[in-house]
A = this chain, B = another copy of it.
Amino acid sequence: MTPRSFPHSGLIPQPNDKENLLNYHFDKPGTAPGTLKIEANASPTDIVLIDYNEANASRLSLETPEACSPYLNSESVSWVDVVGLGNEEILQRLGQVFQLHPLILEGVVNVPQRPKVEYYDDQLVIIALMVMPKPDEDGFWSEQVSFVLGKNYLLTVQEELLRDCFEPVRTRIRTNTGRVRKTGADYLAYALLDAVIDEFFPVLEDYGERIEDLEDEVILNPTPHTLEKIYQVRRELLALRRAIWPQRSAINSLIRDGSSLISADVQIYLRDCYDHTIQVLDMVETYRELASSLMDVYLSSVGHKMNEIMKVLTIISTIFIPLTFIAGVYGMNFKYMPELDWTWSYFVCWVVMMVISVVLFFFFWRRGWFKDFSSMRND
């Protein structure tokens, strides 16, 4: 399965780009709610269980979803990490093991969903969207990460292992660094969610740099290519905003409404995580505003360039057209043209032409038409 990517291949994405970041998954009209849709090229489904308390931590690769069952009710924290949405049967059985509402299972499998938080009696479901910069070109990929938080367990479902943003947390569990081993599943959920949000920052940094490049390009050398790039950046920032905005609402709802599954202590950490989403949103909005005013600058810049071109044309034409007329007059073949026979008339003719040129030059100079040229040359 290829990831949903946001390509920036120099041109506007073609209609046959199936991988479109702008649209979430939607059911074919008439589908019964709760129907799972497995994509043909989805990754096979792997299940890894990490079980830990302050004293011990173990990591198991499970063959069947049912193998989780004994761990779920134990006192230790059990993190069931599922990667790949390719096996409908396993996913269905997973749903039964965790007693997931059919709508939850649908939301977890039919990716990508709009990020949200759902409260059930003894479960808390968080659908989040992770982004990562494309390795070799501009643009980003996105991937859904779902969290199902229960009393002593956390189920995470990821589309595929494009980028393993959970690894630092796994390391912290293994090496017992920080607070993660000393706290419950809620802190684990926070730590993973925070890792997902933090992935936005490197993507945003890329956009900051692309906008700065475009600023130079717009002023110094605007081409239609520049315009495409600005439009592309605006389009991608729109996609980023659509990814982070519902995430912000979801985390805000978590903080505001609380849940018995999240301790007061972890609430404080969630507030910090919320601050990060606000910061992401803030940066996205700032970049969007900059990109939008770059479009204005582009338009003005193009208008100014036209003025430059017109001035060149006007100066040259306006000076030579009258001169050419004079030359034309004395090229006429009338029999009786007294000037033609005078000795100095050719010389006088040149003088008159010179005077006309100088007068016109002075006219343009007084209007300041030459000032801009010299200022342009400096750039």
Which residues on A are within 8 Å of B, measured CB to CB?
Answer: 11-15, 20, 22-24, 26-34, 101, 103, 113-114, 116, 118, 165, 167-169, 172, 177-178, 180, 191, 194-195, 198-199, 201-202, 204-205, 208-209, 212-213, 215-216, 219, 221-225, 227-228, 231, 234-235, 238, 242, 268-269, 271-272, 275-276, 278-279, 282-283, 286, 289-290, 292-307, 309-314, 316-318, 320-325, 327-337, 339-346, 349, 367-369, 371-372, 375-376, 379
Contacts and interface: CB of A to CB of B under 8 A. Distances in A.
B33 A194 contact: yes
Given A29-B199, A320-B325, A346-B336, A22 B219 contact: no
Given A290-B235, A310-B313, A283 B23 contact: yes
A24 B205 CA distance: 11
A285 to B, nearest CB: 9
A201 B286 CA distance: 23
A188 B241 CA distance: 35
27 contacts: A14-B212, A15-B209, A15-B213, A26-B201, A27-B198, A28-B198, A33-B178, A103-B269, A114-B275, A114-B278, A219-B227, A221-B368, A223-B375, A225-B375, A235-B290, A295-B300, A302-B307, A313-B313, A316-B321, A317-B318, A320-B322, A323-B328, A330-B333, A331-B331, A334-B345, A335-B342, A335-B343
A318 B316 CA distance: 6
A255 to B, nearest CB: 13
A317 B324 contact: no
A355 to B, nearest CB: 16
A22 B296 CA distance: 21
A238 B290 contact: yes
Contacts of A275: 113-114, 116
Nearest to A216: B12
Contacts of A336: 342-346
A300 B331 contact: no
Contacts of A334: 330, 339-340, 345-346, 349
A298 B300 CA distance: 7
B324 A328 contact: yes
Contact of A29 (B11, B165, B311, B332): B165
A15 B165 CA distance: 27
